[in-house]
Structure 1
Amino acid sequence: MEILDTLIVGAGISGLSLAHALQKEATSASPRAILVAESQGRVGGNITTVTAGGFLWEEGPNSFSPTPELMKLAVDVGLKQELIFADRKLPRYVYWQNKLQPVPMTPGAMIQSQLLSFPGKLRALFGALGFVAPAMGSQLSQQGDQETVSQFFRRHLGTEVMQRLVEPFVSGVYAGDPQQLSAAAAFGRVTKMADLGGGLVAGALLSARKKKPQSPLGKGGLKNVADPNVPKTKPGELGSFKGGLKALPEAIAANLGDRLKLNWHLTRLDRTQRETYIAVFSTPEGQQEVEARTVVLTTPAYVTAELLQPLEPEISSALQAFTYPTVACVVLAYPVSDVKQKLVGFGNLIPRGQGIRTLGTIWTSSLFADRAPAGWQTLSSYIGGATDSEIGNLDTEQIVGEVHRDLSRILLKPSAAPPKVLAVNLWKRAIPQYNLGHFDRLQQIDRGLKSLPGLYLCSNYVGGVALGDCVRRGFERALEVGEYLQQSD
């Protein structure tokens, strides 16, 4: 049996980015034997792009922030001409008290905004300037001196900012509960700024002063993050590809060729006396065994926990503590004539307590061109999450009914006809929650990994859930794997 250098389990964007980086690092003088094994019959993981009837929509992530690593990856795999970007000046909206209110993106817009009351604006201003009570109390002690997202933002910016801006953002990114999410884990950059300067404004200024120019990140396909061949982007832009997000994983997969295996389901992982790993797969051709010097598991926490239970129970128990709420992605299309007004913007989020069950809606065909036939508006809504676990008990027709009812209140004319239902994708376990105790769980995992040299974890339950985070994490793990292989050569 050939011994691989690296076995990567999972062909989502994390695993594919890692494989691409390792492939780029290898040279003809020092080739690396790599295999990527995916349990599904397609690549991309949660990225799910669908086209039908002149419509193009996403049933998982909808877009990406153009991070340097992601942009470099897209160019590397030949997608430079396929990149598209939404106008960063398009407004975002919050539905508050029966009205769509634009999210203030500048200090001037904050002053004029009707989303916050005058006392709410003053409270936010004084808090941002550092007039903030210290984090203390018995409840905080019971939480291991960790603040929840709700506690942190109420303390710094007040209840109105928390309820009307932060809470809907949390719903949109994590589908999470701000009373359970760890502020330091989910909003690490913001909490570090507050710690650095005593207030958010002072912390932001100090952070900007301390920030050093980005240096090349070295191996693994990251030598030229500042490559002039990579298109320049501006803060606030959101990107995709002409053919949808699936273009990226499919392009990486095409470059991997026969180093990628689909419908390979990992059933067991063992460590050998010669410090390699034996992976047993169930495949369409029957059971297959693979031996590798290094293994990277990019699988969700609950899958990884089951695989590692026989090898290292300490890691398994920490992974089992991660929760993944149920979220439904509902893609509906309406004639433009059924919409109250022309939709110009990214979409809208809805704070809890507004009598609306839907978490938020992306105005898909307003965001990117050619996503719907002429005369149609496509709306991608998300419903469920950590604060609405009952959504998983509804059938498809009921879920569509809930979303259509909410859209009728927010965006549609009273005379609007029933929608054209493009998709209802119920993600039973959608997004890992960075809840209180997050860093303790990661430390427990790191302790356990010390007894398993050559084994690495690379998934979105650590280091961020956005596509850019997944690419960066894949590149970083590739560096670690490459260094380990060099040391053991």
Structure 2
Amino acid sequence: MELLDTLIVGAGISGLSLAHALQKEATSASSLKILVTESQGRVGGNITTVTAEGFLWEEGPNSFSPTPELMKLAVDVGLKQELIFADRKLPRYVYWQKKLQPVPMTPPAMIQSQLLSFPGKLRALFGALGFVGPAMGAGLSQQRDEETVSQFFRRHLGTEVMQRLVEPFVSGVYAGDPQQLSAAAAFGRVAKMADVGGGLVAGALLSAKNRPKKIPADPNVPKTRPGELGSFKQGLKALPEAIAAKLGDRVKLNWHLTRLDRTERETYIAVFSTPDGQQEVEARTVVLTTPAYVTADLLQSLQPEVSSALQAFTYPTVACVVLAYPQSDVKGKLVGFGNLIPRGQGIRTLGTIWTSSLFADRAPAGWQTLSSYIGGATDSEIGNLDSEEIVREVHRDLSRILLKPDVPQPKVLAVNVWKRAIPQYNLGHFDRLQQIDEGLKSLPGLYLCSNYVGGVALGDCVRRGFDRAREVGKYLQNKQSDS
């Protein structure tokens, strides 16, 4: 049995980014033996791009913020000419009291916004300037002084900002419950600003002042501006497929990890179920990029404490519903990113991305594609509905918000029910991560790299993959020095 340097389990964007970084850093003199295994028959994990009948749509992540790491990766794997960006000036909307209200993105826009009342704006201004009471209350002591997203933003910016801006954002990013999510975990930067400056404005200014100097930009990487969202001409799947193509036969599909053991030689034996029967692999290091619940099962016998902490992560059910309508069925021309819906507005859908308005060539002429998300932590019942029932719910909601009266049934492009969609950064998140880190000390050479740690966005996944690659490389170097 050949001894691998690194076994990476999972060919989602985290695992592929990690493998790419390891391969790139390895010189020809000290090339690493790497294997990436994937239980599905394709790479990309939750990235699910589909094309049919002249439409192109996403059933998982829909776009990305162009972080430096992600942009560099795209260029490295030959996708520079495939990058596309939505106009950052396109408005985002919140559906409030039967009207689509643009989200205020600047102080002048906030002043003029009809989304918040005058008292609500005044409350937000005073809170942002630091006129904020201390975190207190009986409930807080039961939470070990950890504030929920709801508690934090109500205290700092008031109830209106919480309900009309933060809550729909939480639904859009985490499909989460603001009364369960940890403010420090889910909104780490904002929470740190409040700690540093006493108020959000002062904290933002101090954070900007103390920010490390930017590394000179790579001239080969296209420049982007804040607020832009990116994709590729052929959809997000272009990125994992391009990375996998570079890795070649180092990627094995339909390999399902059934057992992981540690040897007396301080290596790991992984047993896989594959199309060619059972396969065993031995590796000096192993990186598990699998979801928390899968990783928990794999580590149950190796490290029960880590397994227990991983089992505590919750993943609510979310359905992605992609519907197409003739442009004539839509109220006016949709110009914008899309709309989010706070709870309590009589609308079950969490939000809708105006897909064919965001990126060009995503729908045939005369058609509008709308990608809606429904379910999440505040609506667990969505998992009990069949596809037709889910479409009816979404179509009814769209009829109230975006469509003309008495519009016929849409063209249904997709109903993808993600039974376990997005890991929730709920109260106790950092305690769980600490328990995991402590437990992994007994398993040197084993690493976890998934979106339940350090952010759920694609840019977070790429950055995390690069970071883990450095850790793995350093461990292998140290082991080589010791031998």
> Given the two structures, how large is their TM-score scaled by the length of structure 1?
0.97
Q: What residue number does 2:24 align with?
A: 24
Cα distance in 2 between the residues matched to 1:109 and 1:137: 34
> Per-residue CA shift, 1:291-334, capped at 9, x if unaligned?
00000000000000000000000000000000000000000000
Change over 3 Å in CA distance of 1:287–1:211 after alignment to 2: same
Cα distance in 1 between the residues matched to 2:211 and 2:5: 35
Q: What residue number does 1:322 align with?
A: 313
> Per-residue CA shift, 1:76-116, capped at 9, x if unaligned?
00000000000000000000000000000000000000000
> Per-residue CA shift, 1:25-62, capped at 9, x if unaligned?
11111110000000000000000000000000000000
Unmatched 5+ residue regions in structure 1? 215-225
Cα distance in 2 between the residues matched to 1:294 and 1:213: 32
Cα distance in 1 between the residues matched to 2:417 and 2:178: 22
Asked if 1:403 corresponds to 2:387, the answer is no
Partner-residue secondary structure (3-state), 2:351: strand
Partner-residue secondary structure (3-state), 2:135: coil
Tell me how far 1:414 sits from its aligned partner. 0.3
Tell me how far 1:199 sits from its aligned partner. 0.3
Identity of aligned residues (%): 91
Cα distance in 2 between the residues matched to 1:28 and 1:460: 32
Tell me how far 1:136 sits from its aligned partner. 1.3
Cα distance in 2 between the residues matched to 1:370 and 1:469: 27
Partner-residue secondary structure (3-state), 1:477: helix
Q: What residue number does 1:488 align with?
A: 481
Tell me how far 1:488 sits from its aligned partner. 5.3
Tell me how far 1:138 sits from its aligned partner. 1.5
> Per-residue CA shift, 1:451-472, capped at 9, x if unaligned?
0000000000000000000000
Cα distance in 1 between the residues matched to 2:86 and 2:429: 33
Q: What residue number does 2:299 align with?
A: 308
Two-structure CA RMSD over aligned residues (Å):
0.7
> Per-residue CA shift, 1:185-205, capped at 9, x if unaligned?
000000000000000000001
CA contact (8 A) 1:359 1:384 kept: yes
> Per-residue CA shift, 1:415-457, capped at 9, x if unaligned?
3111000000000000000000000000000000000000000
Cα distance in 2 between the residues matched to 1:344 and 1:31: 50
Partner-residue secondary structure (3-state), 1:29: helix
Tell me how far 1:235 sits from its aligned partner. 0.2
Cα distance in 1 between the residues matched to 2:25 and 2:205: 37
Cα distance in 2 between the residues matched to 1:253 and 1:440: 35
> Per-residue CA shift, 1:339-372, capped at 9, x if unaligned?
0110000000000000000000000000000000
Cα distance in 2 between the residues matched to 1:243 and 1:170: 28
> Per-residue CA shift, 1:469-489, capped at 9, x if unaligned?
000000000000000000556
Partner-residue secondary structure (3-state), 1:161: helix
Tell me how far 1:73 sits from its aligned partner. 0.1
> Given the two structures, how large is their TM-score scaled by the length of structure 2?
0.98
> Per-residue CA shift, 1:204-236, capped at 9, x if unaligned?
01111x43445xxxxxxxxxxx31100000000
Cα distance in 2 between the residues matched to 1:375 and 1:416: 15
CA contact (8 A) 1:129 1:202 kept: yes
Partner-residue secondary structure (3-state), 1:309: coil
CA contact (8 A) 1:338 1:415 kept: no
Cα distance in 2 between the residues matched to 1:166 and 1:488: 50
Tell me how far 1:390 sits from its aligned partner. 0.0
Partner-residue secondary structure (3-state), 1:160: helix
Change over 3 Å in CA distance of 1:488–1:280 after alignment to 2: farther
CA contact (8 A) 1:59 1:425 kept: yes
2:220 to 222, 226, 229: 229
Tell me how far 1:335 sits from its aligned partner. 0.2
Partner-residue secondary structure (3-state), 2:151: helix
Cα distance in 2 between the residues matched to 1:488 and 1:302: 36
Cα distance in 2 between the residues matched to 1:180 and 1:191: 16
Cα distance in 2 between the residues matched to 1:482 and 1:368: 38
Cα distance in 2 between the residues matched to 1:470 and 1:435: 19
Cα distance in 1 between the residues matched to 2:20 and 2:304: 31
Tell me how far 1:124 sits from its aligned partner. 0.3
Cα distance in 1 between the residues matched to 2:355 and 2:410: 15
Tell me how far 1:280 sits from its aligned partner. 0.1
Cα distance in 2 between the residues matched to 1:378 and 1:193: 38
Cα distance in 1 between the residues matched to 2:56 and 2:206: 44
Asked if 1:142 corresponds to 2:142, the answer is yes
Cα distance in 2 between the residues matched to 1:367 and 1:416: 23
Partner-residue secondary structure (3-state), 1:56: strand
Cα distance in 2 between the residues matched to 1:90 and 1:309: 48
Q: What residue number does 2:266 align with?
A: 275
Tell me how far 1:137 sits from its aligned partner. 1.7
Cα distance in 1 between the residues matched to 2:332 and 2:89: 19
Partner-residue secondary structure (3-state), 2:28: coil
1:419 to 410, 416, 421: 410
Q: In the comparison of the two structures, how many residue pairs are matched?
A: 477
Cα distance in 1 between the residues matched to 2:176 and 2:16: 27
Partner-residue secondary structure (3-state), 1:8: strand
Tell me how far 1:178 sits from its aligned partner. 0.0
Partner-residue secondary structure (3-state), 2:61: coil
CA contact (8 A) 1:318 1:441 kept: yes
Q: What residue number does 1:217 align with?
A: none
